[in-house]
Amino acid sequence: MAFTEGFLWGAATSAFQYEGAATEGGKGWSTADERCCLNASNQADASVAVDGYHHWEEDVALLKELGAKAYRFSISWARVIPTGDGEVNEEGVAFYNRLIDALVNVGIAPVVTLLHFDIPFALVEKYGAFADRRAIDAFERYARLCFERFGDRVKHWITVNEQNVMVRIPEMLGYTADDPDCAAKCAQANYHLYLASARAVACCKQMWPDALIGPDVSYPTIFAMTCSPDDVNTAFDLQQMMAFDPMRSYTSGHISLGELRAWKAAGITPTMLPGDEEILAAGAPNFMAVNWYCSTVVDTAAAEGEGGVLNIGAAFRARNPYLDYTEWGWSYDPRALRIALRECYERFHLPLMVCENGWSQREELGADGTVHDAKRIDYIREHVASMSQAIDEGVDLIGYTYWSFVDILSSSDGMGKRYGLVYVDREDFDEKECARHPKDSFWYYQKLIASNGAGLERVPRGL
């Protein structure tokens, strides 16, 4: 197998989906907390999540037992600076210091995300958060604080998780879809987030030249349902829009032509200042994280709305008849990960890390105190085989953090949709004790890590 000795095998969580303690320890409110509250009659909110704030020591012990080389988690900006741009909450800083120390002490590299869907809500109230340029300064100050306090031990940083998703879900930015200025605010916030990410990258490079830092892009691979020119052209356009346009904006020193075209088509002109391209160029990342779960097919014939206009949501809902799907319509297509990694590496030539990749399903704790998640084992095995092939073909892949380490609060479906290697015993409306129970996949992944990826039980079909 192709994995090098230092390959970063690990698993991932994010603050609002894992920590809970939403108002404990001096933490401020965030857009993620607010968004979870909006949905609280349907599913669990972020107030307890899976109680990582009180279970983290046990979780680090489990990571050690897993043999993990890396743990990806996010810092809650509002936990370390409750108002986003004001006083530092030393209690929050101490929490992350303890976690990072515990990881490093057992040889696990922290892979730290600065912003994972949870902007301090005080910034929304103060000036509309990232639609205002002042949020860039606030983010840079927060990033600098993290580099100062944690940078001696953290050598892998992710600036922003899935900006390309955030800017399509107004509530994640602190806006509401019924605001007439919503589209303009989202576009301006999108533009400012590129600058904020670049300023954090430049700051980190100056303070910790040995660190790797970059954004994390959500990257669904998009295929055409048929070879009709409509399907082929639409799949191409959507693939650029969802993944490669944002990647170009982060890496090339200017906003991608695709994003500029999309704003123009929507009649939106974000304010851009002289000197911004210098900021983007100085903040070019030295690695890139991708979150990759599945492929999607585009069926334009099935997705035409009134007047023949393409309904993008419907286009994405088309099903590939050759693949299995989760209950939530996410396909099982491990071989497409190889294609994705090749596409990404050959375009941008940056070291890559797969920072999210995982299988979700409804699960219950069995009478034997565990969960027999055979499908998740298949998913891991076949995606690792696909990564191995991509490495053999020349891709510089440095790590894989399976999503998620323990079950987390799914950002769209609460506790009903579980991804973890470790079962967390709580239901949407019954928090119980949040006890941890490793699933079969935990023990499988432990073997896989111990063999550095060589312990795959069988080579998947077609590789």
Q: Which residues are catalytic?
A: 162, 356
Beta carbon nearer to ligand BG6, 36 or 154: 36
407 belongs to the binding site for ligand BG6 (CB under 6 A): no
Please pick, from the candidates 118, 140, 162, 237, the single residue that binds ligand BG6 as defined by CB under 6 A: 162
14 belongs to the binding site for ligand BG6 (CB under 6 A): yes
411 belongs to the binding site for ligand BG6 (CB under 6 A): yes
| 3-state DSSP percent of the chain in helix, strand and coil, to 5 | 45, 20, 40
- The least distance separating ligand BG6 from the CB of residue 19, rounded to whole angstroms, comes to 13
Residue 203's SS3 state is: helix
Query: Does residue 425 contact residue 415 with C-beta atoms inside 8 Å?
Result: no
113 belongs to the binding site for ligand BG6 (CB under 6 A): no
Per rule CB under 6 A, count of chain residues that contact ligand BG6: 14
Residue 14's SS3 state is: coil
42 belongs to the binding site for ligand BG6 (CB under 6 A): no
**Considering only 32-40, 158-166, 171-179, 303-311, which stretch makes contact with ligand BG6 by CB under 6 A?**
158-166
Beta strand pairing call for 212-218 and 156-161: parallel
Query: Does residue 398 contact residue 155 with C-beta atoms inside 8 Å?
Result: no
Please pick, from the candidates 1, 40, 165, 339, the single residue that binds ligand BG6 as defined by CB under 6 A: 165
Beta carbon nearer to ligand BG6, 276 or 356: 356
- The least distance separating ligand BG6 from the CB of residue 245, rounded to whole angstroms, comes to 18
Beta carbon nearer to ligand BG6, 218 or 389: 218
DSSP state of 304: B
Q: How far is residue 76's CA from residue 160's CA, in Å, rounded to a whole number?
A: 12
Q: What are phi and psi of 428, to 5 degrees?
A: -50, -45
Beta carbon nearer to ligand BG6, 289 or 391: 289
Beta carbon nearer to ligand BG6, 110 or 270: 110
Please pick, from the candidates 205, 417, 418, 436, the single residue that binds ligand BG6 as defined by CB under 6 A: 417
356 belongs to the binding site for ligand BG6 (CB under 6 A): yes
Q: Which two tokens stand for residue 340?
A: 């994705």
- The least distance separating ligand BG6 from the CB of residue 330, rounded to whole angstroms, comes to 8
Sketch the per residue contact string, 278 through 297, with ligand BG6: x for CB under 6 A, - otherwise.
-------------x------
- The least distance separating ligand BG6 from the CB of residue 326, rounded to whole angstroms, comes to 9
- The least distance separating ligand BG6 from the CB of residue 29, rounded to whole angstroms, comes to 18
| Residue found under tokens 């941890």 | 436
Per-position DSSP letters for 222-280, written without gaps between them: EEESSSSHHHHHHHHHHHIIIIIHHHHHHHSSS--HHHHHHHHHTT------TTHHHHH
> What amino acid is encoded at 132 in this protein?
D
Q: How far is residue 124's CA from residue 119's CA, in Å, rounded to a whole number?
A: 8
169 belongs to the binding site for ligand BG6 (CB under 6 A): no
- The least distance separating ligand BG6 from the CB of residue 293, rounded to whole angstroms, comes to 7
Please pick, from the candidates 161, 256, 295, 331, the single residue that binds ligand BG6 as defined by CB under 6 A: 161
- 139: Cβ–Cβ under 8 A, 6 or more apart, which residues? 77, 114, 115, 196, 199, 200
- The least distance separating ligand BG6 from the CB of residue 266, rounded to whole angstroms, comes to 23
- The least distance separating ligand BG6 from the CB of residue 36, rounded to whole angstroms, comes to 11
Q: For residue 283, give the nearest of 136, 112, 71 by alpha carbon.
A: 136
Q: How far is residue 451's CA from residue 445's CA, in Å, rounded to a whole number?
A: 10
Please pick, from the candidates 190, 331, 386, 410, the single residue that binds ligand BG6 as defined by CB under 6 A: 410
CA 267 to chain centre: 29
Q: 208-247: which residues touch ligand BG6 (CB under 6 A)?
A: 218
320 belongs to the binding site for ligand BG6 (CB under 6 A): no
Q: How far is residue 451's CA from residue 453's CA, in Å, rounded to a whole number?
A: 5
Q: How far is residue 33's CA from residue 118's CA, in Å, rounded to a whole number?
A: 7
Query: Does residue 246 contact residue 211 with C-beta atoms inside 8 Å?
Result: no
412 belongs to the binding site for ligand BG6 (CB under 6 A): yes
Residues found near ligand BG6 in the complex (CB under 6 A)? 14, 17, 161-162, 165, 218, 291, 356, 360, 410-413, 417
